[in-house]
Structure 1
Amino acid sequence: MWLEILLTSVLGFVIYWFVSRDKEETLPLEDGWWGPGPRPPTQEDESIRPFKVEASDEEINDLHQRIKKARITPPLEDSHFHYGFNSNYLKKIISYWQNEFDWKKQVEILNRYPHFKTKIEGLDIHFIHVKPPQQPRGCTPKPLLMVHGWPGSFYEFYKIIPFLTEPKNHGLNDKHVFEVICPSIPGYGFSEASSKKGLNSVATARIFYKLMLRLGFREFYIQGGDWGSLICTNIAQLVPRLFGFTKRDVELLYPVKEKIFYSTLRESGYMHIQCTKPDTVGCALNDSPMGLAAYILEKFSTWTNAEFRNLEDGGLERKFSLDDLLTNIMLYWTTGTITSSQRFYKENMGQNFLAIQHERMKVHVPTGFAAFPCELLHVPEKWLKVKYRKLISYSYMPRGGHFAALEEPELLARDICKFVGLLERQ
């Protein structure tokens, strides 16, 4: 069971070992209310409002004061990242955060793309909507919904967006040009958190589908990793009208014992906590910037490459800049959303997961999958085809791990274009 839960958490795909009906089923397109109190009798305001990220001196001063008072436990000798985040390297992170990191400058970067908010099912939903700067010749930009996961944010997509909206300027075929919509999952970043229990991936999928309808798109492409891939799968199950082991499989799966041990034991501790008592650890993380940074950045180390745990600095700066990493941290810190983001685990996995309706359903929407070699657990094409009946594109990526859009934006953009090309030729 834990292997299947891990696969869902990491990739958003559950591997089915039992035979189920192959008919096309859909999830009911229901409704919900997640705001405080009962649903008001008046119709919900459906306006789309511009939004701007802001930074205040007060929040920066508060952050610096908390960092100054941080208490650090020395690491064991030669422990690297084997016991979690190495506190010697954490001192460097904290020093950079306090003395060199410029949050106001990063806010300017965040505001380079247009931000918006709109009320859906009682919640203020935040999203960025990026259109090509120039109308492409001979084609209409394709709407693409991109959904993040935990512990990421909409900021993960900032490096891939130029490849999708301006492909010709970045060495890609300009036949496929996109306008990109990146929402924040409710309870993450600038999207309002639910006031009620039960907001899971299906409810989020329905909210994001309503968002796309509100933007004028009845058909669109979807892409996601981590929770994002499960949410995208649920969208396909809600409205499907939208759209064998190889040698390499064996290489990526071997040795099975080490892979399963690594995935289910070494990297799943956070999941046990967040599936059961997210508010408890949330109290600590929401109060300590140092604790929040260690908790999240450890994932950006070991989920990017398992071998990075053998390094004193966790290999973080081999793939990411400290500015990018701390900007993601700040999106949790300044909005106070680490606790609400962790509740998403309990709402989705704090019960009999395989008894949930959408996990028993197959997907009949054309699907593409990018298998990054450093992902926590490899999923062979044959396994995916059991659930995703129209898997038309499966790519063995040459490098990359869990945070693909931030780590390898060009590789992922090329694979998205490859999938769209295959689909449009059908």
Structure 2
Amino acid sequence: MAARVQASHLYPRRHEEGRGRAKGIMWLEIILALLLGFVIYWFVSRDKEETLPLGDGWWGPGARPTATEDESVRPFKVETSEEEIEDLHQRIDRVRLTPPLEDGRFHYGFNSKYLKKILSYWRNEFDWRKQVEILNRYPHFKTKIEGLDIHFIHVKPPQLPSSSTPKPLLMVHGWPGSFYEFYKIIPLLTDPKNHGLSDEHVFEVICPSIPGYSFSEASSKKGLNSVATARIFYKLMLRLGFQEFYIQGGDWGSLICTNMAQMVPSHVKGLHLNMALILGPYILTLLLGRRILSLLGYTQRDLELLYPFKEKVFYSLMRESGYMHIQCTKPDTVGCALNDSPVGLAAYILEKFSTWTNPEFRDLENGGLDRKFSLDDLLTNVMLYWTTGTIASSQRFYKENLGQGFMANAHDRMKVYVPTGFAAFPCELMHVPEKWVKAKYPKLISYSYMARGGHFAAFEEPELLAQDIRKFVGLLELR
């Protein structure tokens, strides 16, 4: 009897040991499968110098007219009115807020206690007329492309060194940003000598608004994605007389510029990015752990920005991607609410300028919004969505690009054979190591670990981004 009792006590231990071995085998099989998938993906995708077809489109209302499209470039001016400002004030006055939880800070989203302070400033101190004057400091234009009125600013250098020509540079914003993100970096690129930089590289900057954002007309039809936008912006550059040019982007701008480089590589002299959408199978290698990755050539800085994996990758992406699921599936539903409430719109947009600038800002009562930005700048960006009524159309861009599923588009699987520079800002939503960037962009000639900064690089750290663009172009021109 004693022997039987003793043996019975061993069964649970044997059972646990068996489960442990089974789990170990399961994880080994998963890791081997991931590695095999990665090897197959690398082998199939390597050294295929493909280009995206240029194609054509019509995004205006109704059928495409038989008449030739008007290709004139027309001056445009941002304007406002007393009625517009009065309507905004009335809506702010009627706000109904939900009290925040005690010690909620920004962990539940935008803290309504701090939102009250922003609303007070917006209602009583923010001067939209003054900000409109600031917006009009740079020349604005519109031109019709594929049925849509496309808005852009075009800033030429105020002075040039003798016997030199400016380098045309297309800069593309993302969501929930706007062309206004580039207002502080533009003078560093177009007038470097008067801003403490050498005039070795002087740029002529073109910043368009993505269709459905700010003053660019929204598509009337389904399907206007990053590829169509890349084609539209390529046509814009041709219309402005540029056969060769540099391009730069973050967020959606990084994908649009990548698509342009895939579509017309002979016209793109160089591509500079501060974000890259290349998670794919590469993110799965992080499951191998720090030690193995260090043996595979990942730098110490890469490991610092990627580990601990659960917190810096998995939990971070889960916390920050809820909006994306909504906008990839039912953008118009939340769009209806945000387009009707300036307060809701401000909370929805400004929350991104908090946590996407630095994830640690979630721990602050004001979301750290005053650490990197002024309220005037933040509210000007919000006003560009509010006054144009474009929040819903801007959110549709997610459904058009990501609503078909993961890696569903041809360009997702294509490499980019244009000289590329990359600025890795430490507080970007997801760190992308140089090895990953080079796998997608084989002609990567410049990769920089930036000293500070997050997702809205041009808006937050214009000097750092300008210096990296100049560095990339300098390296490229030495080749």
TM range (shorter): over 0.9
Distance 2:243 2:414 in 1: 22
Give SS of 1:293's match: helix
Distance 1:296 1:342 in 2: 11
Q: Is the 8 A contact 1:16 1:386 kept in 2?
A: no
Distance 1:418 1:390 in 2: 16
Counterpart of 2:345?
292
Q: Does 1:275 align with 2:275?
A: no
Runs (4 or more) in structure 1 with deviation over 4 Å come to none
**Deviation for aligned residue 1:16:** 9.9
Counterpart of 2:354?
301
Q: Does 1:76 align with 2:129?
A: no
Q: Does 1:351 align with 2:404?
A: yes
Counterpart of 1:423?
476
After superposition, the C-alpha distances for 1:94-144 in whole angstroms (9 at most, x for unaligned) are 000000000000000000000000000000000000000112323210000
Aligned positions of 1:156-195 closer than 5 A: 156-195=181-220
Aligned positions of 1:153-232 closer than 5 A: 153-232=178-257
**Deviation for aligned residue 1:17:** 8.0
Distance 2:428 2:258 in 1: 19
Report the AA paired with residue 356 of structure 1.
N
Aligned positions of 1:87-102 closer than 5 A: 87-102=112-127
After superposition, the C-alpha distances for 1:283-337 in whole angstroms (9 at most, x for unaligned) are 0000000000000000000000000000000000110000000000000000000
Q: State the superposition RMSD in angstroms.
A: 1.1
Report the AA paired with residue 305 of structure 2.
L
Distance 1:262 1:204 in 2: 32
Aligned positions of 1:103-118 closer than 5 A: 103-118=128-143
Counterpart of 1:251?
304
Distance 2:196 2:373 in 1: 22
Distance 2:40 2:95 in 1: 48
**Deviation for aligned residue 1:216:** 0.3
Give SS of 2:41's match: coil
After superposition, the C-alpha distances for 1:2-53 in whole angstroms (9 at most, x for unaligned) are xxxxxxxxxxxxx998221412110011110000000000000000000000
Residue number among 369, 387, 400 corresponding to 2:440 in the alignment: 387
After superposition, the C-alpha distances for 1:319-364 in whole angstroms (9 at most, x for unaligned) are 0000000000000000000000000000000012312111111000
Q: Report the CA distance shift for 1:197/1:236 in structure 2 as closer, same or farther (over 3 A).
A: same
**Deviation for aligned residue 1:260:** 1.9
**Deviation for aligned residue 1:257:** 1.2
Q: Is the 8 A contact 2:317 2:429 kept in 1?
A: no
Residue number among 2, 13, 18 corresponding to 2:41 in the alignment: 18
Q: Does 1:58 align with 2:109?
A: no
Q: Is the 8 A contact 2:160 2:202 kept in 1?
A: no
Give SS of 2:113's match: helix
**Deviation for aligned residue 1:263:** 3.0
Counterpart of 1:10?
none
Residue number among 3, 13, 31 corresponding to 2:56 in the alignment: 31
Residue number among 353, 361, 366 corresponding to 1:313 in the alignment: 366
The alignment's TM-score, normalised by the length of structure 2, stands at 0.85
Give SS of 1:135's match: coil
The alignment's TM-score, normalised by the length of structure 1, stands at 0.95
Counterpart of 2:260?
235
After superposition, the C-alpha distances for 1:63-110 in whole angstroms (9 at most, x for unaligned) are 000000010000000010000000000000100000000000000000
Q: Is the 8 A contact 1:364 1:390 kept in 2?
A: yes
Distance 2:362 2:200 in 1: 41
Q: Which has the larger radius of gyration?
A: 2
Counterpart of 1:8?
none
Give SS of 2:169's match: strand
Q: Is the 8 A contact 1:125 1:192 kept in 2?
A: yes
Report the AA paired with residue 128 of structure 2.
W
Give SS of 1:354's match: coil
Q: Does 1:336 align with 2:389?
A: yes
Distance 1:399 1:137 in 2: 35
Q: Is the 8 A contact 1:79 1:86 kept in 2?
A: yes
Q: Is the 8 A contact 1:206 1:235 kept in 2?
A: yes
Counterpart of 2:466?
413
Distance 1:227 1:118 in 2: 21
Q: Is the 8 A contact 2:218 2:393 kept in 1?
A: yes
Q: Is the 8 A contact 1:124 1:192 kept in 2?
A: yes
Answer with 257-266 or 23-32: which moved more. Answer: 257-266
